[in-house]
């Protein structure tokens, strides 16, 4: 063709010239990221074998960064590189020699990393809350900084640079791991710090930048809020607590109030109060802590006038350790005395219980006893249980004999012993009267309504003789110190003179009365007086003792002298405070009160001389007291504002002391309540205030101004706020609210009817003046003012929206095959200044369109930036196939309107993978096959399986792996292609129909073990196997049923026959064939047809002819029905397996036999008649042998599925003993019955046939029941101890 030479022309010209194109074989170049503009980048190199001059050029989109010198090939940087934006560049390099066609090649350029990026913290801001009791070592937050560089320059390490508040302890409170996890290093304490701010430094591992090693870093702050937990017990305020209340005061009288607070200020649990004391006459309000009187108080009945109460303060909730948070304090309540008791008399000596009063006393005295001698045998004690002056009473005598005696003492404070003393000795005359009676009166002068008690004192006079020893003095005045040690000598000797001589002049001394001997004793010979029991010497109880010192001579003549023993005072009594001291005064006024007290020690001595002083305390410097008079005054005017107590109470403790040695003292609290006076002006807490509000904030809150008033009462410290009229002041409202005592807040807000327009304002602010006025002030001077600047800000008022397209097409494969980021949801906001944060609202799990509960709640995590992360390796399609995340996005900068978007739902489809193998389901029942009547495609068993996966992954198909016949002797024979399986679907499962694949051998005995595999349909395929047992019923169980009706009649009655047989046997009836019957044997029953049948149970057990016969005979109704249907004979089938060779032999043998029979037929006619009778006898013998089982035959337990019987002679399947079969007896004569031995078919006897008995000689002459057995068998009776063994019935059962 003419155009072929034209195509070859260029090639011919090039070949003719001999010049070749340049060669450029550079493959890759590397350029540093921090290269500066104009610096050398790399060298292009090409060569030309012809030596031609080469020019270079570069092109392509990435050539934007470079400039190439056309002549030298030097490439310099034209624009800055950024590896993090583009790490690989490609340019097209073109080289040309000017002769040949230019050569172009693509040259990859790798941008080498340099450390030009600092770590960038992600997901800011960092804020977290931590419980106060967080365990040391816990990770409380994890920060993360990303560095876009590579290598060591991308390895970020963290450190904590600063902890705010900045203390040494706080620096050691946290540390940070290399992973960015902030760990708690020490315990938190909410009471110390409620907030921390950590300055965290992130720095990379360093790298080259402009040929220098550079480390890049960045910082951020982590804000940690400490959440208070209840771990502290409450605490009582203003301890200690003490108060007083007079006895007899009304029930409900307030004593004082205790106050406790929860030290967990962030929790501030409610506190309830209670007493721990078991039984006290006070009650406490469980809410306010006010203690009141709950019972009528009787100071004299109390164990002590000071009642000590233990108050328990308990928080309403348990602490974090599960314990009750509580604290206790002691409260001392002094029950002050009221003069409500009169003095009473008691008869007792040194120890008195003061339970039973006494109004009659009897004593004795020697006539003409000296003046001041006490009446002996009197033990009178007078007592007034009131305290101090209330317990002081007078004593005096009345009556006709009162002038002869006097009482001592005449005045008692509290309790004292009373003596009746002789006042007129001459009046005490035995010859005038033997008995004298006086009335002893105790009069409480301070209680005029019930003042006095009276006691009658009967004095018996003792007669004396005329010759008595005489003492030089009639009276001796002795002194002894109270509480003196036992044995102290009071007087060395006091002797009497008796002029008598001899024994009558020998004088012995004795102290009288006998009661005085408990305290004093006398030396019987010397007359020395000593202390016997110094512990009974108490001057305050009894200052003077009077005793008779008796001098007795040998003739029992006695003389006496009076001993007046004065007990000297010892300082052993503390001062007693009279009354209680509660004073109320207005601030600025003076306080003046006198502390009154007494001392029961001896009057006029230092022991009873009292002094007063103020005990150092909170307010001790505010008062002064007279040391001698006890007058208390304030030093300077009282200021209510200087008193810390909310009730304005100042408690000053005064010590009252005596001047004795040792010095004793008593404390008393003086409570001064200072009433508040309005003498302070409100004060603002700040010099000025500045607030900002957004435009269009109608009626919105602007800010709070706060002021205080130092006055301590609510009315005097009440503050009211108002706005001073000025430009714009009408746009605002201010309201007052009480924050606490003297602290008020003025809440400034926009007037609801005013709308502020930011754009319409020239000045974007309002300048206001707020006035604070004390509403209780009498003049206008109690007003303070402060300037308030209100700035108006623009408003972010558009809600964010979630981009709908970002909610579509999300799917995740199950089992954690996808981790970390699986999807990103996007949101938008029309506001220019916004910060959008996604928030997950709920998670819904669905499987197949129905709820799956909460199985998927932790599978995915929605991050604030919209990233959806797979958070679990447990994502399981079989549990949940759809996960719906309901979310919204929040604009953190929203100032007005809705800050949230509409709720949107992200639907995540879970993609199934083949991770479950098929599971076979249980199939009830037993599988049985009758080979003779089991054609190909007959279903003989089923399997059922399911697969939790879906689609192809969950589609199951079945295969038969193996078929093994286990024979009765245990031998296993494998078969192939004997069975097949057909798979079909059934709702959520699959069914495998096990069918016959080829003709089964009916002569085989045993059970088939069929191994079936269930396999799913997707890779990687999962499979499971199971083994079925199919029991086979061989030909030995085929039974002939002979009918007198034709084949057609039997077939037409087939269902009725089946029903009757099933009713009798409860077994499955399998008909193998129905054919005409042609039998030349002589029988009385002329059968026309025969039905070959198997009787099989569901467990693989089959009936033989004997068992069938027993069942039919055991049910007369079934028997009658079958007879009506034409049944004549039940017999075993002929089990043969003819082959062609056997069939030929049979034919020949039959012809030969026919010939022989034909020749001998005449002879046989006679012989058969004789044999008929013999065969009957043989049948009876065989029957007995079959029905009588000797014990030696029974070998133990039966074998399931066979006709071998156990020791109890019962079939395990049928659970009954078997009788032999019988002829149904459709013949009319019994003389020509066919034999019933094993060579003939059994005939069924009619139940109406006459019984017969044949007598024969027995091989066991001793067995007398032989005839009974035979007759019973023939009459369908069950003889005792009968069983039947058929060794041919051996099919294996389950």
**1148 against 1214, higher pLDDT:** 1148
Four-residue CA torsion sign, 11, 15, 21, 26: positive
Which 3 state secondary structure label does DSSP give 66? strand
CA 490 to CA 564: how far, in whole Å?
A: 11
| Cβ-based neighbours of 927, under 8 Å, separated by 6 or more | 940, 941, 994, 1028, 1029, 1030, 1031
Q: Is the pLDDT of residue 876 over 90?
A: no
Query: Which of 303-307, 973-977, 1201-1205 bottoms out in mean pLDDT, i.e. has the lowest?
Result: 1201-1205
In the prediction, which pLDDT does 1198 show?
Answer: 37
Q: Which long-range contacts (CB under 8 A, 24 or more apart) does 1275-1281 make?
A: 1275/1251, 1276/1113, 1276/1219, 1276/1222, 1276/1245, 1276/1247, 1278/1217, 1278/1219, 1279/1187, 1281/1189, 1281/1209
Q: Confidence class of residue 1180 from pLDDT cuts 50, 70 and 90?
A: low
Taking residues 224-244, report their average pLDDT: 89
DSSP strand pairing (139-142 vs 181-184):
antiparallel
pLDDT digit string, tens, across residues 444-475: 877 767 789 999 999 998 876 546 788 899 89
- Count CB neighbours of 394 within 10 A: 17
Task: Please compute the mean of the pLDDT values over residues 1269-1279 and round it to a whole number.
Answer: 39
Write the CA distances from 416 to 243, 381, 538, integer angstroms. 31, 6, 10
d(CA 1253, CA 348) in angstroms, rounded, equals: 129
- The rounded mean pLDDT for the chain is 81
Structure confidence at residue 420 (pLDDT): 93
Quick count: other Cβ atoms within 10 Å of Cβ 835? Answer: 16
Query: Does residue 935 register a pLDDT over 90?
Result: no
Highest mean pLDDT, choosing among 144-158, 257-271, 1167-1181: 144-158
1198 or 931, which is more confident: 931
Between 1274 and 427, the higher pLDDT residue: 427
The three-state (H, E, C) secondary structure of 901-967, written as one string: CCCEEEEEEEECCCCCCCEEECCCCCEEECHHHCCCCCEEEEEEEECCCCHHHHCEEEEEEEEEEEC
Q: What average pLDDT score do residues 45-66 get?
A: 92
Residue 340 has pLDDT above 90, yes or no: no
Quick one: pLDDT band at residue 819, thresholds 50, 70, 90?
Answer: low
Query: Taking residues 737-762, what's their average pLDDT?
Result: 82
Q: Evaluate if residue 1034 carries a pLDDT over 70.
A: yes
DSSP designation for 1188: B
Which range, 116-120, 268-272, 930-934, 1172-1176, has the best average confidence (pLDDT)? 116-120
Rounded (10°) CA dihedral 178, 184, 185, 191: 150
* Residue-wise pLDDT tens digits, 1006-1016: 888 899 999 98
More confident residue, 232 or 118: 118
Residue 543 has pLDDT above 80, yes or no: yes
pLDDT of residue 1079: 63
Q: Tokens in use for 1202?
A: 């066979």
Distance from C-alpha of 952 to C-alpha of 972, rounded to nearest angstrom? 37
Mean pLDDT value across residues 901-909: 92
What integer is the mean pLDDT of 659-675? 90
Confidence of residue 1263 (pLDDT cuts 50, 70, 90): very low
Q: What is the mean pLDDT of residues 716-744?
A: 87
When pLDDT is averaged across residues 527-547 and rounded to a whole number, the result is 89
How is residue 566 written in tokens? Answer: 């004065």
Edge-to-edge strands, sheet with 850-851: 810-813, 904-911, 882-891, 836-847, 850-851
Structure tokens at 91: 């340019």
- pLDDT(1099) > 50: yes
Mean pLDDT of 417-429: 90
Asked whether 693 and 603 are in contact (CB, 8 A), the reply is no
User: Which pLDDT score, from 0 to 100, does residue 1237 have?
Assistant: 35
Q: Is the entire prediction scored with pTM above 0.85?
A: no
1216 falls in which pLDDT band (50, 70, 90)? very low
Given pLDDT bands bounded at 50, 70 and 90, which one contains residue 530? very high
User: How high is the pLDDT of residue 1171?
Assistant: 67
Q: Which of 193-207, 339-353, 705-719, 1209-1223 is the least confident region?
A: 1209-1223
Distance (Å) of CA 917 to CA 823, 913, 950, 1197: 31, 11, 12, 43
Q: What is the per-residue pLDDT for 651?
A: 92
Higher pLDDT, 824 or 832: 824
Residue 20 contacts residue 49 (beta carbons within 8 Å): yes
Q: What is the pLDDT of residue 798?
A: 77
Q: Which residues contact 85 (CB under 8 A, 6 or more apart)?
A: none
- pLDDT-wise least confident of 142-151, 182-191, 784-793, 921-930: 921-930
1285 — pLDDT class (breaks 50, 70, 90)? very low
């Amino acid at each position: 063709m003419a155009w072929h030479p034209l195509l070859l022309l260029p090639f011919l010209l090039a070949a003719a010239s001999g010049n070749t194109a340049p060669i450029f074989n550079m493959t890759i170049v590397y350029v540093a990221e921090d290269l500066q503009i104009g610096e050398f980048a790399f060298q292009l190199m090409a060569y030309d074998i012809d030596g031609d001059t080469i020019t270079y050029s570069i092109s392509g989109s990435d050539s934007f960064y470079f400039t190439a010198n056309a002549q030298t090939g030097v490439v310099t940087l034209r624009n800055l590189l950024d590896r993090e934006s583009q790490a690989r560049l490609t340019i097209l390099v073109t080289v040309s020699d000017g002769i040949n066609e230019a050569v172009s090649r693509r040259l990859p350029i790798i941008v080498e990393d340099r450390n030009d990026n600092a770590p960038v913290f992600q997901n800011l801001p960092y804020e977290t809350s931590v419980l106060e009791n967080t365990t040391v070592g816990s990770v409380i937050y994890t920060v993360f900084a990303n560095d876009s560089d590579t290598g060591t320059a991308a390895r970020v390490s963290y450190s904590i640079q600063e902890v705010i508040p900045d203390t040494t302890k706080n620096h050691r409170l946290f540390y940070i791991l290399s992973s960015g996890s902030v760990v708690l290093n020490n315990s938190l304490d909410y009471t110390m710090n409620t907030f921390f701010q950590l300055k965290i430094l992130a720095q990379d591992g360093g790298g080259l930048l402009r040929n220098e090693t550079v480390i890049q870093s960045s910082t951020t702050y982590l804000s940690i809020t400490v959440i208070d937990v209840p771990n502290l017990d409450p605490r009582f305020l203003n301890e200690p607590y003490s108060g007083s209340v007079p006895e007899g005061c009304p029930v409900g009288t307030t004593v004082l109030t205790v106050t406790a607070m929860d030290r967990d200020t962030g929790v501030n649990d409610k506190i309830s109060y209670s007493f721990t004391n078991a039984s006290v006459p006070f009650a406490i309000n469980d809410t306010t802590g006010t203690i009141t009187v709950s019972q009528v108080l009787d100071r004299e009945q109390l164990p002590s006038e000071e009642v000590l109460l233990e108050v328990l303060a308990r928080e309403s909730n348990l602490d974090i350790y599960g314990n009750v948070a509580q604290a206790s304090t002691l409260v001392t309540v002094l029950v002050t005395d009221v003069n409500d008791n009169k003095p009473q008399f008691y008869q007792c000596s040194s120890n008195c219980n003061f339970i039973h009063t006494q109004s009659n006393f009897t004593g004795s005295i020697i006539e003409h006893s000296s003046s001041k001698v006490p009446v002996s045998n009197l033990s009178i004690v007078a007592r007034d249980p009131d305290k101090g002056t209330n317990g002081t009473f007078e004593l005096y005598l009345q009556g006709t004999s009162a002038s002869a005696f006097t009482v001592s003492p005449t005045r008692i404070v509290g309790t004292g012993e009373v003596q009746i003393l002789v006042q007129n000795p001459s009046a005490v005359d035995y010859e005038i009267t033997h008995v004298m009676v006086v009335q002893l009166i105790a009069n409480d002068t301070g209680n005029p309504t019930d003042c006095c008690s009276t006691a009658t004192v009967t004095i018996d006079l003792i007669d004396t003789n005329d010759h008595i020893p005489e003492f030089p003095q009639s009276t001796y005045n002795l002194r002894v110190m109270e509480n003196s040690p036992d044995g102290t000598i009071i007087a060395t000797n006091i002797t009497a003179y008796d002029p008598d001589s001899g024994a009558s002049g020998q004088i012995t001394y004795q102290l009288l009365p006998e009661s005085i001997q408990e305290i004093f004793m006398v030396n019987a010979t010397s007359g020395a007086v000593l202390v016997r029991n110094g512990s009974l010497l108490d001057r305050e109880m009894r200052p003077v003792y009077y005793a008779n010192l008796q001098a007795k001579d040998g003739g029992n003549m006695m003389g006496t002298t009076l001993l007046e023993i004065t007990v000297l005072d010892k300082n052993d009594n503390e001062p007693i405070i009279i009354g209680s001291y509660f004073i109320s005064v207005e601030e600025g006024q003076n306080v003046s009160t006198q502390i009154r007290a007494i001392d029961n020690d001896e009057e006029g001595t230092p022991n009873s001389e009292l002094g007063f002083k103020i005990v150092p305390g909170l307010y001790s410097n505010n008062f002064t007291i007279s040391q001698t008079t006890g007058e208390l005054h304030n030093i300077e005017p009282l200021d209510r504002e200087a008193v810390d107590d909310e009730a304005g109470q100042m408690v000053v403790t005064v010590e009252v002391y005596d001047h004795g040695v040792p010095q004793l003292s008593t404390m008393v609290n003086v409570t001064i309540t200072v009433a508040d006076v309005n003498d302070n002006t409100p004060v603002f807490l700040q010099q000025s205030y500045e607030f900002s509000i957004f435009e269009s904030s109608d009626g919105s809150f602007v800010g709070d101004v706060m002021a205080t008033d130092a006055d301590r009462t609510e009315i005097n410290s009440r503050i009211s706020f108002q706005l001073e009229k000025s430009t714009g002041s009408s746009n605002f409202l201010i309201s007052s609210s009480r924050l606490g005592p003297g602290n008020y807040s003025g809440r400034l807000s926009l007037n609801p009817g005013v709308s502020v327009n930011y754009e319409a304002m020239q000045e974007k602010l309002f300048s206001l003046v707020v006035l604070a006025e004390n509403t209780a002030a009498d003049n206008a001077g109690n007003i303070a003012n402060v300037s308030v600047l209100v700035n108006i800000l623009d408003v972010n008022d558009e809600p964010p929206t979630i981009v709908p397209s970002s909610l579509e097409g999300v799917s995740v494969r199950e089992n954690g095959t996808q981790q970390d980021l699986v999807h990103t949801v996007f949101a938008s906001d029309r506001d220019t200044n916004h910060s959008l944060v996604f928030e997950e609202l709920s998670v819904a799990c669905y499987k197949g369109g129905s709820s799956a509960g909460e199985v998927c709640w932790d599978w995915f995590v929605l991050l604030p930036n919209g990233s959806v992360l797979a958070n679990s390796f447990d994502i399981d399609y079989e549990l949940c196939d759809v996960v719906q995340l309901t979310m919204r996005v929040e604009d953190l900068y929203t100032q007005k309107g809705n800050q949230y978007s509409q709720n949107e739902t992200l639907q995540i489809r879970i993609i199934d993978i083949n991770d479950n193998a098929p599971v076979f389901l249980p199939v009830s029942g037993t599988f049985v096959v009758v080979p003779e009547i089991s054609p190909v495609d007959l279903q003989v068993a089923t399997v059922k399986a399911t697969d939790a996966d879906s689609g192809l992954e969950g589609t199951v198909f079945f295969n038969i792996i193996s078929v093994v016949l286990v024979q009765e002797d245990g031998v296993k024979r494998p078969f192939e292609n004997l069975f097949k399986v057909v798979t079909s679907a059934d709702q959520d499962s699959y069914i495998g129909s096990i069918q016959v694949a080829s003709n089964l051998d009916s002569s085989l005995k045993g059970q088939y073990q069929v191994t079936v595999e269930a396999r799913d349909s997707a890779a990687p395929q999962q499979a499971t196997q199971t083994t079925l047992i199919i029991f086979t019923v061989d030909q030995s169980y085929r039974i002939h049923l002979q009918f007198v009706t034709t084949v057609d009649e039997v077939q037409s009655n087939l269902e009725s026959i089946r029903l009757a047989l099933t009713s009798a046997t409860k077994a499955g009836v399998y008909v193998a064939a129905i054919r005409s019957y042609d039998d030349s044997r002589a029988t009385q029953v002329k059968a026309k047809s025969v039905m070959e049948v198997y009787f099989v149970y569901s467990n693989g057990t089959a009936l033989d002819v004997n068992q069938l016969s027993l069942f039919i005979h055991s049910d007369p109704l079934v028997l009658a029905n079958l007879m009506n249907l034409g049944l004549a004979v039940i017999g075993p089938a002929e089990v043969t397996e003819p082959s062609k060779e056997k069939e030929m032999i049979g034919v020949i043998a039959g012809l030969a036999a026919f010939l022989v029979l034909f020749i001998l037929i005449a002879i046989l006619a006679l012989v058969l008649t004789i044999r008929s009778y013999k065969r009957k006898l043989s049948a009876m013998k065989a029957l007995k042998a079959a029905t009588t089982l000797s014990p030696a035959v029974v070998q133990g337990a039966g074998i399931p599925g066979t006709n071998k019987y156990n020791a109890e002679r019962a079939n395990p399947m049928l659970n009954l003993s078997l009788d032999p079969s019988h002829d149904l007896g459709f013949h009319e004569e019994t003389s020509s019955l066919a034999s019933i031995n094993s060579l003939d078919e059994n005939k069924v006897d009619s139940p109406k046939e006459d019984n017969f008995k044949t007598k024969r000689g027995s091989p066991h002459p001793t067995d007398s029941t032989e005839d009974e057995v035979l007759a019973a068998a023939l009459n369908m009776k069950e003889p005792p101890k009968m069983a039947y063994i058929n060794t041919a019935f051996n099919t294996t059962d389950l």
